[in-house]
Copies of this chain bind each other. A is one copy, B any other.
């Protein structure tokens, strides 16, 4: 079994892939770009892809979303959410550091630290934190800002841990496969969707959210995407709580199918999150759905209900 992931080796993405249960024992193949990874999955050259989708420090996730929204269908089979922490990696003591390299996104997130602790160091931009670490290992720069895992992979000592200006940052990665039935419900699942809407954005979006809300389905993410199909058509990328097999989700999906110009199902998969699953609102639990279905059957049979 082969997983293609966003290279190079030694970045956050590889660290995240190691935490994906489905990737245990699989061969991990670094590829240079998200479109190449997803196309390799589409063509069957690899069994699965593993790419960042949200809040990544190492590259845009717009590419991931747009690849899932367009092109031949793919589905998400799992996710890994990795806390983002930065270290200052260098063979030198801080006082001796004159140059620091990193990816611009990483530099942006440690600006306070650099200003405070290394005010005189010259900052250089690199294509990735892994490339920065390699260039430090090669002696081109004195230090780099990267993930602990990246420093370790490059054989660089850590001079300071957890140097990000804000804590709590996370990157979310997804395990992508060709269309297939989802894994069994885990009790705390996400279903990802893209819904397309013509015209009247607020009214149509209200209708979409209503289909979810009345079945007790929550959103953990919403993002509007340009569709590139001309003015007046909008797509929304949605992460919803629940699983394709749930009665509530099935009913909500058919509701969206009826009212949207297009609905693309992008998979149901276990949520990788310390959050407990959000309990459904009163009256919208699984037993309420079962009770209501049984009641309808009685009515249709002519009973007094």
With contact pairs A60-B105, A209-B205, A219-B205 given, residues A296 and B253 touching in the complex (Cβ less than 8 Å): yes
With contact pairs A218-B200, A258-B289, A304-B73 given, residues A223 and B226 touching in the complex (Cβ less than 8 Å): no
Assess whether A181 is in contact with B111, with CB atoms less than 8 Å apart: no
Assess whether B108 is in contact with A33, with CB atoms less than 8 Å apart: yes
Assess whether A228 is in contact with B168, with CB atoms less than 8 Å apart: yes
Interface residues of A in 229-259 (CB under 8 A from B): 230-231, 236, 244-245, 250-251, 253-255, 257-259
Is A95 an interface position by the 8 A CB rule? no
Chain B contacts for A62, CB-based, 8 A: 55
Report which residue of A169, A213, A293 has the largest number of chain B beta carbons within 10 angstroms of its beta carbon: A213
Closest to A303 in B: B179
With contact pairs A214-B210, A214-B214 given, residues A302 and B179 touching in the complex (Cβ less than 8 Å): yes
Chain B contacts for A231, CB-based, 8 A: 275
A244 and B226 alpha carbons, distance in the complex (Å): 25
Is A189 an interface position by the 8 A CB rule? no
Is A27 an interface position by the 8 A CB rule? no
Is A299 an interface position by the 8 A CB rule? yes
Copies of this chain, complex-wide, total: 4
A44 and B291 alpha carbons, distance in the complex (Å): 30
Chain B contacts for A21, CB-based, 8 A: none
Interface residues of A in 29-66 (CB under 8 A from B): 32-35, 55, 59-60, 62-63
Is A1 an interface position by the 8 A CB rule? no
Is A217 an interface position by the 8 A CB rule? yes
Assess whether B224 is in contact with A254, with CB atoms less than 8 Å apart: no
A104 and B169 alpha carbons, distance in the complex (Å): 24
Assess whether B205 is in contact with A255, with CB atoms less than 8 Å apart: no
Chain B contacts for A212, CB-based, 8 A: 202
With contact pairs A127-B127, A181-B301 given, residues A254 and B293 touching in the complex (Cβ less than 8 Å): yes
Of B219, B258, B295, B302, the contact of A180 (CB 8 Å cutoff): B302
Assess whether A299 is in contact with B253, with CB atoms less than 8 Å apart: yes
A32 and B114 alpha carbons, distance in the complex (Å): 15
Q: Assuming A206-B210, A221-B224, A258-B283, what are 5 further A-B pairs, CB within 8 angstroms?
A: A181-B300, A202-B209, A214-B259, A253-B299, A259-B283
Q: Which 9 A-B pairs have the closest CB atoms?
A: A181-B302, A254-B292, A179-B304, A257-B292, A73-B304, A202-B213, A201-B219, A258-B288, A258-B283
Q: List 30 A-B contacts (CB under 8 A).
A: A33-B107, A33-B108, A34-B108, A35-B108, A55-B226, A73-B304, A73-B305, A127-B127, A169-B228, A179-B304, A181-B302, A201-B218, A201-B219, A201-B220, A202-B217, A206-B213, A211-B214, A214-B255, A214-B259, A222-B222, A222-B223, A244-B299, A245-B300, A250-B296, A253-B292, A253-B295, A254-B289, A254-B296, A257-B295, A259-B284
